[in-house]
Chains A and B, each alone.
Chain A
Amino acid sequence: MQDILQPVLNGILLGGLYAVIAIGLSTMFGIVRLVNLAHGDLLILGSFLSLVLASSVGLSPYWTILGVVPVMYFVGFFVQGFLLNRVLGKGMEPPLLVAFGLSIILQNLLLLIFTPDARSLMTRITLMTIQVTKSLNIPVVYLLDFLAGLAVILCLYYFFQKTYLGRAIRAASDDEGAAQLMGINTKNIYAKAMGIAMMTAGIAGLLVGTTFTFYPHTGPQYLIIAFGVIVIGGFGSMKGCFVGGFILAVAQLLGAHFLGPGYQLLSGYVVLLVVLALRPQGIFGTV
């Protein structure tokens, strides 16, 4: 019984990382009712951006956040502004298919540029642990991910609750026409919102890179994690992201603990599918 404390603890910390992986996807769904199928690949793009910056500047990967975040903002702004805005409101399929196409293009572009080799941004931190008891330790990198995730989501919360742009985004997602009557250029707002979502994805990508290895094709894996977090926790809810993150991560790690490391992803998928079948709106679901 003592045995499972470690995976559970790891799972809770990892859940924080999963929450920040998911927050961008959740936010955009709440705003434009679009699940961005390229979310995972954009996140990995962030990881690769970080890789490029870290190796060209020679600093610890964590500093690359200064470069990754602005670049990802523009990536998000352009993807929404020039691609997705064009197909918004034209039915269900076109936005999904365009996002899907983008996902494929990104994966293959990254494959071309960076080859299929495994990559990582791991540092000395990745191996550090804090010993809590004889059998329990805290991996420092997980703790860092958790705290970073918490910080990002709190900032996002503040942004949406207190700023003009944040409130404008919420207004536009409530009623697009009425928002326009307030002087809000809604298409432009959506692009900015996507920019912000991509900033979080960039940060998530950086954190992922420092914690795990990644490849050009790792994107979909993180899309599914993000999706899983939101399905379990409920779309449109920030605390839902954390709860969903915890549950998914703990499920994965317990699965790995009992069945073997190869079953980590699979355990997550199974839990996700079960939740989809039983309570598709998630725990805190508002949509």
Chain B
Amino acid sequence: MADTVALKVSGLDVHYKDFQALWDVSIEVNAGQVVSIIGANGAGKSTLLNTTSGLSTPTKGTIEFLGDRIDGQPPHETVARGVSLVPEGRRVFPRLTVYENLFIGSYTPKSRPKREQILGTIYELFPVLKERRNQMSDTLSGGEQQMLAIGRALMSEPKLILCDEISLGLAPVIIAGIYKRLRQINEDGITIVLVEQDITRSLKAANYAYILLEGKVVLEGEPSVMTEEQVKKAYFGI
């Protein structure tokens, strides 16, 4: 079976006014894989994901999803193509209930007719969301909000989901639970890009990894062949 390239980022430069956040970044994600992008704070990981989703526009380079260019597109078009972002900080809609948050996740025309069906799968994946479905989303705990954010991103039936620091601020046991669900999601055929500061866990979960330092890719490869030494050097830039 030939590997299809789900996401291809080539030579990406991203600027915030005069500040350059990404320098000639190139990344490839094959369909069905879990790819990790690691780096310290400020390395450019979120920028990469935000630009892929369309929240930012690159100054140079291209982003292709399943062969079509998506760089520079507004976010709502990227979502319609099947790319979902679970944003940093979760960003659930505080004045909507859990149910409404999930509901609005199926806004795209494709997913609307299947809403109840998809909702059923999400409730199976995250039973606590079903329990709390009529609660305001800002009354949920951190872990529950994270599950909500992931569930919401899945409502649009994406082929690729981008997860921005989903373990931030959560207790290890909760994180373990979430990662278990991610494995399930991946087994159902959804490609996952994981952005994390937590090296160990995300490397364990991934088929392939990239390490960013100050906006550049400094190391890439299969986690199983990376030594701790290499990773540390790349991460901290020593």
Residues of A within 8 A of B (CB): 164, 167-168, 170-171, 174-175, 177-186
Contacts and interface: CB of A to CB of B under 8 A. Distances in A.
A184 B84 contact: no
A182 B152 contact: yes
Contacts of A174: 93-96
B96 A180 contact: no
Q: Which 3 A-B pairs have the closest CB atoms?
A: A180-B75, A183-B79, A183-B108
Interface string B100-118: 1001110110001000000
Interface of B: 53-55, 74-76, 79-80, 84-85, 87, 91-96, 100, 103-105, 107-108, 112, 152-153, 156
B138 to A, nearest CB: 10
A183 B87 contact: no
Contacts of A182: 76, 79, 104-105, 107-108, 152, 156
Given A167-B103, A167-B104, A171-B104, A180 B91 contact: no
A158 to B, nearest CB: 14
Contact of A171 (B53, B96, B112): B96
Nearest to B50: A177
A33 B161 CA distance: 32
A164 B112 contact: yes
Contacts of A175: 91, 93
Contact of A184 (B87, B96, B107, B112): B107
B64 to A, nearest CB: 20
B85 A181 contact: yes
Contacts, number: 68
A184 B91 CA distance: 15
A177 B76 CA distance: 10
A159 to B, nearest CB: 14
Contact of A168 (B84, B87, B107): B107
Given A167-B100, A184-B107, A178 B94 contact: no
21 contacts: A164-B112, A167-B96, A167-B103, A168-B104, A170-B95, A171-B96, A174-B93, A174-B95, A175-B93, A177-B87, A178-B93, A180-B54, A180-B79, A181-B75, A181-B84, A181-B153, A182-B105, A182-B107, A183-B76, A184-B76, A185-B74
A67 B112 CA distance: 32
B93 A171 contact: yes
B95 to A, nearest CB: 5
A167 B95 CA distance: 10
A177 B103 CA distance: 17
Given A164-B112, A180-B79, A185-B76, 5 more contacts: A167-B96, A167-B100, A167-B103, A174-B93, A181-B79
A89 B156 CA distance: 28
A186 B100 CA distance: 17
B74 A177 contact: no
A191 B87 CA distance: 26
Contacts of A177: 55, 75, 87, 91
Nearest to B100: A167
A185 B76 CA distance: 6
Contacts of B93: 170-171, 174-175, 178-179
Given A164-B112, A168-B107, A171-B104, A183 B80 contact: yes
B76 A178 contact: no
Contacts of B85: 181
